[in-house]
Chains A and B, each alone.
Chain A
Amino acid sequence: MADVRFQSIRKTFGKFHAVNDVDLEVADGDFVVLLGPSGCGKTTLLRCLAGLEKVDGGRVFIGGRDATGLPPRRRKIAMVFQSYAVFPHLKLFDNIAFGLRMQKEPKATIRERVESAANLLHIEDLLDRYPSQISGGQRQRVAVARAIATKADVLLMDEPLSNLDALLRMEMRAELKALLRQLGSTTIYVTHDQVEALSMGDRIAVMNAGSIVQLDSPLVVYDDPADTFVGGFVGTPPMNFLAAEIAPNGSFPLVTLSGGSFPLADPAAGALAGRKLTLGIRAEAIVVEPELGQGLIEATVIVIEPLGSHNLLTVKTGDDLLKVSTPPHLFPQLDSSIWLRLEPGRIRWMDAESGRAIPLAPASAPAPVAG
């Protein structure tokens, strides 16, 4: 086991800056997910760690050792590829044993380690088959078994679940998480699937355009996105963003949206008065009230999507469309007016220009809404 440190890693492909001065530290035994849209540099960063790409600047440390110039085979890493990269000309046993044979382990050790890896992945009955004789999901398991059999210091996973169908992916997600916790290995996991990132990682490094824009635990990334990009990328549905302004109004600063205004029970927000702002709020932090009351915003129902566990409404207030999550029994009339209450404790403020989150000084205890 080992820790990993990226020190201002830079990688360009021609004129394209794939990775821009990325710093990242991953503690021994930590599970970090690199999350971002395609082309954000997450896979490139992982390949720089594996030694499959040469960095154009910066250094990579694995277990405190400078690995920047080392070839992949000297880095003590193991990698699971998106295409699985299971060798078609070798039986499963030989696939899993490949790394151990390269390390010149004794035969008995190889057999034992291959079998224990195969047991962990539940493919022990398939070891004398060829990859073409098993399913895609089983091939995925072979790729993981092959990676863990070598007992590498760091486990790298590049979108390992993205080629599986939805149901299998969900099963494998939980299984993989349990397996990795059991192994306790340092893991760096690349995905573009934010559900995978939220559900699996100890920490998530959200990447955009070659940089890490936020590095936090999943719930912090979800609740307190560092900017509008993170809020819009993480979560289903994405965070709602509304253009807003604040006017000072004693301990209840007045928030004005395109669809109306309401007093906010957060005195600290008064400090933002006069700035051009973006208000961010999650769909489930908006409560639908049946009738007009104080501090509510009027909205028109455009679409209702019943999802079983809850209903997802698309509503329009002023110029803005909002996604609102409601209890499953609530079916407001289409095109009718409803009233929304934005939970003050879950409102996030971003600068309208830069999109960056503006932290409010003391995280004010959500006071009960007046009225």
Chain B
Amino acid sequence: MSGERGSPVVWLSRFGMYATAVLVSLFVLAPIYLMTLAAFSSQEDVYAYPKELLPRNLSTETMSFFIHFGGVLDALQRSVVVALITLVLSLAIGTPAGYALARFAFRGADTLRLSVVATRAFPIVILSIPLAVIFISWGIDDTAFGVSIAHTALALPFVVLTTSSVFAGVSPELEEAAMTLGCSRLKAFVKVALPLALPGLAASAIFVFIVSWNEVFAASLLTLRHRTLPAEVLSLLEGAPVNFRFAGGFFLMAPSVIVILIIRRYLFTMWGRVLK
């Protein structure tokens, strides 16, 4: 058999590729679809059998009940605030650290790299009690800021390591060129290294946001009345009917999808390059 265009082999391998893509997409999208459908159906429809797979009989009854129940909207707002503070803190601390690891050969660079990873070796369960005690004595328990500090600690190792590899991919000669053209070191970083590292930083940002958004344990432990959404939903939906659980799941998912769609723009920054 020949490998020419249009031959059975090529056709088969193409078919295989698209089939795999479709399967993978279904694997991700089908549960999301079903969850969304259930979130916007009435209680009877959720329990009905056989199941209706098409959105014929939509209702916002469950959803609106859920949203207006207790402190869900407040928790949503708090979650966004916590995630954004975490994002800013992690990138503000992690990016310079990653840059330093990528650019400078300083004493103890390898040790630092290792210890950054090693912080993840301590489970948050062990850290949480002392953390709660400290937070209480500092008076930042049960606040969005307190939770974001804990989340920053969780996300930071990842940010340091990814940004360091992102900056390692930006040629130092580019910054040196900027310096011969009138930039100080800092300005060369801001005008050249930073924009070139943007896609990598965007990927980091998405990850940080999701780490914070999904985190339940620290959030539950460090807050009581001012819970983030996952912590709030978790305590609310224990023993709640299934349709409310679907509503809660949808509610947890939707904002993170929106944030990813926004940051995605920077993920594919390709100066003058055509995306294939």
Whether chains A and B associate is: yes
Report A's interface with B, CB cutoff 8 A. 50-52, 71-73, 77-79, 81-83, 85, 87-91, 98-99, 102-103, 129-133, 146, 150, 156
When the two chains form their complex, are residues A81 and B182 in contact, meaning their CB atoms are under 8 A apart?
no
B177 surroundings in chain A (CB, below 8 A) = 79, 81, 85, 87, 146
Check: B101 CB closer than 8 A to any chain A CB. no
B178-192 residues at the A interface, CB under 8 angstroms: 178-185, 187, 192
Taking the complex as formed, is B107 at the interface, i.e. its CB lies under 8 A from any CB of chain A? no
Q: Using A87-B192, A132-B272 as known contacts, say yes or no to A73 and B183 having CB atoms under 8 A apart.
A: yes
Q: Apart from A51-B180, A73-B183, A88-B196, what are 8 other A-B pairs with CB-CB below 8 Å?
A: A73-B182, A78-B180, A79-B177, A79-B180, A85-B176, A102-B181, A102-B183, A150-B181
Q: With A81-B173, A87-B192, A88-B196 as given contacts, are A72 and B180 in contact (CB-CB < 8 Å)?
A: yes
Pair A103/B182 contact, Cβ less than 8 Å:
yes
> CA A77 – CA B187 in complex, angstroms?
18
Contacts of A98 in B (CB 8 A): 178, 181
Q: Which residues of B contact A71 (CB under 8 A)?
A: 179, 184-185
Q: Which residues of A contact B271 (CB under 8 A)?
A: 88-90, 130-132
Cα distance A131–B154 in the bound complex, in angstroms: 39
User: Hey, which chain A residues are within 8 Å of B192, CB to CB?
Assistant: 87, 89
List of A residues within 8 angstroms of B178 by Cβ: 87, 98
| Contact bitstring B255-276, A, C-beta under 8 A = 1, else 0 | 0000000000000010111000
Q: Which 9 A-B pairs have the closest CB atoms?
A: A130-B272, A102-B182, A99-B181, A85-B177, A85-B173, A79-B180, A72-B179, A89-B271, A73-B182
- Complex alpha-carbon distance, A132 and B272, angstroms: 6
Contacts of B70 in A (CB 8 A): none
Within 8 A of A (CB), among B208-236: none
Q: Are A131 and B272 in contact (CB under 8 A)?
A: yes
Q: Mark B94-127, 1 if CB is under 8 A from A, else 0.
A: 0000000000000000000000000000000000
Given contacts A131-B272, A133-B272, contact A85 B171 (CB under 8 A): yes
Which chain B residues border A72 with CB–CB below 8 Å?
176, 179-180
Residues of chain A within 8 A (CB-CB) of B184 are 71, 73
| Contacting residues, chain A, for B171 (C-beta < 8 A) | 83, 85
Q: Are A129 and B272 within 8 A (Cβ)? A: yes
